[in-house]
Structure 1
Amino acid sequence: MIKKYGWEKNDMVLNEYEKRKSWTSAYLRDKFCVGFRTTLRCKAINNFIKSLLELVQNLEHALRDYRHNELVSQFKMVYGKLILTTGLEALELCTVKFYTSEVLGKVKTKIQRVVALDIINEENISTTVVLKVECDMRQHIYNVLYYRNTKNMKCECSL
């Protein structure tokens, strides 16, 4: 409209255009907005959208880190050198196929506890096997009951 009537250089029109930010408050004066002005609502919405965007970016970053760690773990499992540390090499080699290196460390400690046990005597009583087991870690002899029917074991030490 300004170009149509040639008012581009008119000082009064330019002065009114500079006051354009106060136009909205004059126009919305009789409208109920719960104490918010239009610009405040826009800022609140923009802040909300900005926080959502930051949340999505942080989730994406965490997911990227998780995938990276999984790839590194898988690479180590496939191409890493296996060092056999327990006395049960066959069992240890079998566990390598199923566990990552982090979990394998925990499994190895369990295997080492089994290696520390030495069966001194085995006695069959019906469906129960009574084992006398010496534990290198505690320097003690324990009685272990193995129930063949239920495939459960019980030890004096309750471990």
Structure 2
Amino acid sequence: MRRSEIKDGDAEAALAYLCGKAEMDSSFFYKFNIDEESRLANLFWADSTSRMDYACFGDVLAFDTTYRTNAYKKPLVVLVGVNHHHQTVVFGCALLMDESVGTYEWVLETFLEAMMNKKPISVVTDGDKAMRKAIKKVLPETCHRLCSWHLQRNAFTNVHIKDFSSIFARCMFMRGNEEEFEKVWHEMVANLGLNENRWVTEIYGKRKRWAEAYLRGNFFGGMRTTQRCESMNAYLNRFLKIRLRLYEFVQQFDRAIMRIRQNEAKAEFESNNSSPVLSTKLSIIENHAATVYTKESFIKFREEMKNAELFFVVGLGMLGEHLSNERSDMYIDCGELNNLKKTMECACADSRISAT
């Protein structure tokens, strides 16, 4: 019924193409609305593979807007994540009439409808105000992180002090807790005389969306920036040109996505049909990890193992009701653990860590 109301023949052809895909793919989802002049306003679509990818890897969502992809200059939003091969996957995309809060709300609400109302744990964006307001309304419980690359660029643009962007980055990624961050931040602001700087004041007010001290403990799948979105946009621009009409656009978009999925299939084949050379002293654990992880995940895990194998037990000191200040290699019954205090000493530094 809506399609019959649309006056634009090009939009009608694009919708006919998507309708044809839905007939071949029972899980294909698309939705659109029209403006007051009966022209296509917003269009969202996601095929069965994108929906399945989101079901598996949809804990983290990243999206931004790109332009110059079609003849009507309609903004394109690509919603992406990261899969088990650490590759970018496309969960869905939308062509928009504008970049208002209401339009982004429609995109997110339609996206959730397509994904059976599964909400992401966290979302990463470039800091667009309209996006932020839409996320706050549609995904109020989702942790929203601002792109660190955009923040550093804005720091360089808005604060004309030598090396400020580097100093700001150190604050952003510092390993301390919230109290330590606050102390370092206020000292930095006072030392550089930035108490009256408008951008510094505003960005401090958003610190819970960019400071590692406040974000620690939330899952982001390794994403701190919208770089995956921007890389995807750059890739899509090889297929999508400004002169494309809508029916050409949806066809070319399909071609681009097929290429991406071929890369995933290749990575899947390599993971299933190759075995890495074991290189750590923890061979039993390493061999097991190689069988359960994908190739890329295993490589990251092995780096952690290499760090872990640098530690080794040189003795065990025990303190308790029955054992006091004795160094022993005895087997300890689990029932005794409640009464024991264990001390670990690092031989490479003059330090001692005690844990009960």
Q: What TM-score comes out, normalization by structure 1 length?
A: 0.50
- TM-score of the superposed pair, with normalisation by structure 2: 0.25
Asked which structure has the greater RCO (Cα within 8 Å, sep 6+), the reply is 2
**Per residue, is there more helix in 1 or in 2?**
1
